[in-house]
Amino acid sequence: MKALKNAIETRGHFINDEVLKVDAFLNHQIDCSLVDEMGNEFYEHFKNKGITKVVTIESSGIAPAYATAIRLNVPLIFIKKTQPSTMIDPAFAEVFSFTKNKTYPICIEKEYLKKGDKVLFIDDFLANGEAFKGTENLIAQAQAEIVGVGMVIEKAFQKGHAYITEKGYDLLALASIAGVKNKKITWADE
């Protein structure tokens, strides 16, 4: 997605060759027209999959997941990183966060994801795939089916891409980074 790559190159900042900060348009401040375009890209790719739910993890995946779910006319569920006191019957999984360097529980209210649901998972970043693995666990607990995985940005050189594609999931990354050296991006499709 050309507009996204341009935003990454002009408004993104590398902390180092492994950590890309996109707070200027996605993870803190949201460029709504860019996110709207992302939703359209995901919709066009996944629209014939029979999706019944879009699922993401709070909070950075919510905007692109919403933009996709509204086009698909299906509910959006966001997995929580802490259990609120109002959650009655949660399912749990654990996720290791590379950027936070810690393992944390994630949870979802069981009543919102049911056996037979066809799920599209949308998230902001794919690196080692840990958030996806936790989500995959929750979806399996519900006996639902993952029919697609949409990532805004992927670091294809890390483990997550191979994990998802080797399991046979339909993966669409809107901006796929093949490598980073001295904070300079090499795009996977160039």
Is 91 part of any domain? no
126 is in an annotated binding site: no
> What pLDDT, on a 0 to 100 scale, did the predictor assign at position 83?
87
The label of the residue with tokens 């639902």 reads: 144
> What pLDDT, on a 0 to 100 scale, did the predictor assign at position 66?
98
Q: What pTM does this model have?
A: 0.95
> What pLDDT, on a 0 to 100 scale, did the predictor assign at position 147?
98
20 is in an annotated binding site: yes
In the chain the beta strands, taken as DSSP E runs, fall at 13-14, 20-21, 53-57, 76-79, 90-97, 102-109, 118-126, 145-155, 171-181, 184-187
Q: How many domains does the chain have?
A: 1
Phi, psi of 94 (to 5 degrees): -120, 150
Is 48 part of any domain? yes
Flag residues of the chain having pLDDT under 50. none
Is 100 part of any domain? no
Interatomic CA distance for residues 143 and 174, integer angstroms? 28
26 is in an annotated binding site: no
144 is in an annotated binding site: no
Residue type, 163: Y
Is 35 part of any domain? yes
Is 85 part of any domain? no
Q: Please give the C-alpha separations between residue 177 and each of 8, 113, 126, 155, 158, in angstroms, as whole numbers.
A: 10, 32, 10, 5, 10
Is 103 part of any domain? no
> What pLDDT, on a 0 to 100 scale, did the predictor assign at position 23?
96
Q: In 3-state terms, what secondary structure has residue 125?
A: strand
Supply 154's token pair: 């992927």
Is 87 part of any domain? no
> What pLDDT, on a 0 to 100 scale, did the predictor assign at position 93?
95
Quick one: DSSP state of residue 169? Answer: -
27 is in an annotated binding site: yes
Supply 102's token pair: 């810690």
52: domain CATH number is 3.40.50.2020
174 is in an annotated binding site: no
DSSP assignment of 2-34 equals HHHHHHHHHH-EESSSS-EE-IIIIISS--HHH
Instruction: Note down the domain range covering 171.
Output: 2-80+111-187
> What pLDDT, on a 0 to 100 scale, did the predictor assign at position 97?
81
Quick one: DSSP state of residue 143? Answer: T
pLDDT digits (tens, 9 = 90+) for 164-177: 999 999 999 999 99
